[in-house]
Structure 1
Amino acid sequence: MNTFLFDLDGTLLPLEEQRFVKTYFDEMHKVFDDLIDKEMFVKYVWTATDVMRRNKDKKTNMEIFMNKFEELVGEDINEYKNRFDDFYDNGFQEIGKAVDKNTYSEKLIDILKKKGYTVVLATNPLFPIKAINHRIKWAGLKESDFNYITSYENSHYCKPCIKYYKEILEYINKKPEECIMVGNDVKEDLVAGELGMKTFLLEDYLINREELEIDCTYRGKYEDLYKYVDSLPSI
């Protein structure tokens, strides 16, 4: 094994999902307040996101989201696109107040890089790279800490679609048995095990909405993950 895939939200970036989502929509709608009422805006974003999650076509997630959002709005969305960009440049940073802090993320990545492991940020690619880069910083990390980062601009599938993980493997030129997926979501992250990857379920912010049976290689809290990484040999 020579490669780690890490989820972001609830894994490298500790956060409580419901609090994060509420803050996210509260801040984002401020940018669109004069164009569309909040209830309708939130509905359209969720609908377009759901279509993006279920996509199986070879289109980027960004294309899928924007095409559906434009269909829902019923007009040219260039102004919306400009405001989305402005939000992710500026207002999105306010959402940092909804995340928690821990001391493990920096240590984990630092150890793995020093030991020579490939490190991938396998965050569900529902956000543009701008938003992901902000969240990387909130976790105390840098873009350069990762050999590859999934975003809605460069991905064609979402978790838990197995094609999402296949696409990562193709890009980084790795076999499943060379990799371990670390995440907190039973459905979205542990599905990587179906390809033959090892999996580590992080339990501090565990998500198991459908109460699925848990099938993973390892499981534990941040301290357990740290001890595991620290015990690994250098490559």
Structure 2
Amino acid sequence: MIKAVLFDLDGTLLINDLDLFMKNYFSLLREDFKKIGDEKELFKNLNIAIEKMLLNKGPKTNYEVFWDEFTKLTGKDRKNMEEFFNNFYSQKFPLLKDLSQARTNFYAKEVIERSFELGLKVVIATNAVFPIIAIEERLRWGELQNYPYDLITSMEKMHSCKPNVEYYKEILEKINVPPERAIMVGNDIKEDLSASKLGILTFLYNHENIFLNNIEYKPDFIGTLKDFFEILPLLAK
């Protein structure tokens, strides 16, 4: 019997064109970088700081690791740069909804609502490389923002990133649920199914019904969100 459901966001609950999203995200950011300095150098240092954050395993949060590295590389005042990024996420980031053709996935709301109805803890387990302001914005794109989630993983809260097993350990610690009582629902074989290393059940969202061979992690279940909606009451018994 499961006690918690961990949902990936992009490509699972929220459908968007990831290539378009990343292309336009970096394009908008580089345009704003031009206002404060050498955008090529800032962009290069941004990527270095992100890579450092992706390797984080604590004790600092992802947020602290990113800012320590980024300010060291750029020599920029952290307070000013935090304000710069907050402005970017509040003013420019929302444009990416249309640019990436983002929309809620079929049955996303239904599986979230069914999870709460069954008394389960619900986690938005998106990779913790974005600040909470950006994640909440993406939840709005899918009309998934008005739910009492037990946890939304963001760079401010988490001390590691997917696919590190420490990421999933921290989620379980924060919601106080043992691994065998949780299920991770996601579309990425490496990032989402790595939760199985801890004994967490996994559901691979695979709307194309592709048969998977020779993959590192085998999902416990595979299907669409409609399929997950249908088996969820059985898992929660």
TM over 0.5: yes
SS of the equivalent of 1:126 reads: coil
More divergent stretch after superposition (94-103 vs 177-186): 94-103
Q: Residue 174 of structure 1 aligns with which residue?
A: 177
SS of the equivalent of 1:181 reads: strand
Q: Residue 221 of structure 1 aligns with which residue?
A: 224
TM-score normalised to the size of structure 2?
0.89
SS of the equivalent of 2:23 reads: helix
Superposed, 1:1-235 pairs within 5 Å as 1-97=2-98, 98=100, 99-142=102-145, 144-204=147-207, 212-229=215-232, 231-232=233-234
The structural deviation recorded for 1:46 is 1.6
1:27–1:95 contact (8 Å) kept in structure 2:
no
Deviations 1:7-40 (A, max 9, x none): 1111111122211111111222333222234433
SS of the equivalent of 1:31 reads: helix
Distance 1:118 1:87, change over 3 A: same
Structure 2 residue identity aligned to 1:47: I
Q: CA RMSD in A?
A: 2.0
Identity percentage over the alignment? 39
The structural deviation recorded for 1:203 is 1.6
Distance 1:145 1:104, change over 3 A: farther
CA distance in structure 2 between the aligned counterparts of 1:228 and 1:112, rounded to whole angstroms:
11
SS of the equivalent of 1:9 reads: coil
SS of the equivalent of 1:119 reads: strand
CA distance in structure 2 between the aligned counterparts of 1:75 and 1:41, rounded to whole angstroms:
10
CA distance in structure 2 between the aligned counterparts of 1:169 and 1:234, rounded to whole angstroms:
17
1:158–1:164 contact (8 Å) kept in structure 2:
yes
TM-score normalised to the size of structure 1?
0.90
| Unaligned runs of at least 5 residues, structure 2 | none
Size of the aligned set, in residue pairs, is: 230
CA distance in structure 1 between the aligned counterparts of 2:66 and 2:207, rounded to whole angstroms:
31
CA distance in structure 2 between the aligned counterparts of 1:46 and 1:233, rounded to whole angstroms:
40
Which 4+ residue blocks in structure 1 deviate beyond 6 angstroms? none
| Unaligned runs of at least 5 residues, structure 1 | none
